[in-house]
Amino acid sequence: MGDDLKVANVPEKADEGVGKQKEPFQEEPGEGDDSLFDQLMEAIGNGGRFQKRFNFLYNFLLVILLTMPYLNIILVMTIPDHWCHIPGLETTNYTLDEWKDKWLPKENNSGKMKYSSCKMFVENVTDETPVGELAAASRHNDNCMYGWDFDRQWYSETVPTQESWVCNKEIYVSNTFAAGRIGEIIGTFLFGQLGDMYGRKPVFYISIAVLVIGRTLSVFTSAYYYVFLFSIALGSLASTSVFQSPLVISMEVSDEKTRSYIAFLQCAGWVFGLCILAFVAWVVRDWKLIMLVTTLPNIICFCLYKLLPESPRWLASRGEMEKAVDVLKYIARVNGSKLPKNTYSVMEKIRDKKEKFYGLASLFANWRLGKNTVLMVIAWSVSGLCYYVITLSVTTMSGNPFMNFFWQSLVELPGYVLGKVMSDKIGRRWTHAISYAFGSFFCLAAVVAQTIGADHLILILITLVKLTLTTSFYVVWLRTIEIYPTCVRQTGTSIGGTVSNIIGITGPYIIYLGATIDVRLPNAVLLIMILIGFSCSVFLPETLNKKLPETLEDAKAFGKNQKFWSFSLSK
Residue type, position 342, single letter: N
By residue range, what is the domain housing residue 310? 28-81+170-355
Of 157, 154, 160, the closest CA to residue 117 belongs to 160
Angle at 252 between CA 248 and CA 333, to 5 degrees: 120
- How many domains does the chain divide into? 3
228 confidence band (pLDDT: 50, 70, 90) = very high
pLDDT, tens digit (0-9, with 9 covering 90-100), for 438-484 = 999 999 999 999 888 787 888 899 999 999 999 998 888 888 878 88
Residues 235 and 322 in one domain: yes
CATH of residue 522: 1.20.1250.20
The per-residue pLDDT for 111 is: 57
Look at residue 367 and tell me if it is in a domain.
yes
Lowest mean pLDDT among 61-70, 140-149, 200-209, 287-296: 140-149
Rounded (10°) angle between helices 33-44 and 321-335: 40
Check whether residue 498 and residue 520 sit in a common domain: yes
Burial class (CB in 10 A: 0-12, 13-18, 19+), 428: buried
What's the rounded mean pLDDT across residues 93-119? 81
472 and 556 share one domain: yes
339 and 428 assigned to the same domain: no
Residue pair 170/512 in contact by the 8 Å Cβ criterion:
yes
| Residue 349 covered by a domain | yes
Q: Are residues 284 and 406 in the same domain?
A: no
Q: Is 26 helix (H, G, I), strand (E, B) or coil?
A: coil
543 within 8 A of 424, measured Cβ to Cβ: no
pLDDT averaged over every residue in the chain:
83
Last residue of a domain, one of 313, 335, 355: 355
Residue 22 placed within a domain: no
Residues 345 and 366 in one domain: no
Q: Is residue 188 part of a domain?
A: yes
Residue that terminates a domain, selected from 318, 334, 355? 355
Task: Kindly report the pTM of this predicted structure.
Answer: 0.83
| H/E stretch holding 149 | strand 148-150
Which range (183-192, 237-246, 260-269, 351-360) has the least confidence? 351-360
Segment 403-431, tens digit of pLDDT: 999 999 999 999 999 988 898 888 889 99
> What is residue 240's predicted lDDT score, i.e. its pLDDT?
81
In a domain, 569, yes or no: no
pLDDT interval class at 164 (50, 70, 90):
very high
Would residue 15 count as lying in a domain? no
Q: Are residues 88 and 237 in the same domain?
A: no
Say yes or no: 343 and 478 in one domain: no
Query: Is residue 391 located within the same domain as residue 515?
Result: yes
DSSP per residue over 537-568, as a string? HTTSPP-TTS----SHHHHHHTTTT--TT---
Shared domain for 65 and 89, answered yes or no, is: no
**Residue from 385, 226, 202, 218 nearest 311 by CA:** 202
Residue 183 covered by a domain: yes
* Cα-based torsion angle of the residue sequence 201, 207, 208, 213 in order, rounded to the nearest 10 degrees: 150
Please name the residues in contact with 264: beta carbons below 8 A apart, sequence gap of 6 or more: 416, 420
The reply to whether 226 and 289 lie within a common domain is yes
Q: 9 in a domain, yes or no?
A: no
Contact assessment for residue 87 and residue 146, using Cβ atoms and an 8 Å cutoff: yes
- Domain termination residue (choose one: 303, 320, 355): 355
